[in-house]
């Protein structure tokens, strides 16, 4: 899955749930960073 698509999916998941930025950032770290999605 392309990087932007995964990021958009994350945004679409979190926005309706009204999750805080800090929690979303933790989710990004746990799900995207270990897979090498970020450089």
> Over 80: is that where the pLDDT of 25 sits?
yes
What count of residues does the chain have?
39
pTM above 0.75, yes or no: no
Tokens of 5: 């698509």
Report which of residues 37 and 29 the model is more confident about: 29
List the chain domain ranges: 3-31
Tokens of 21: 């930025």
Place 1 in a pLDDT band, splitting at 50, 70 and 90. Answer: very low
CA distance 16 to 18: 5
- pLDDT, residue 15, reads 66
Q: Which residues contact 1 (CB under 8 A, 6 or more apart)?
A: 9
**Nearest partner of 2 among 33, 26, 37, 30, judged by Cα:** 37
């Amino acid at each position: 899955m392309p990087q932007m698509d995964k990021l958009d999916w994350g945004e679409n998941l979190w926005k309706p749930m009204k999750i805080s930025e800090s929690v979303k950032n933790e989710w990004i770290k746990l799900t995207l960073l270990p897979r090498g999605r970020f450089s």
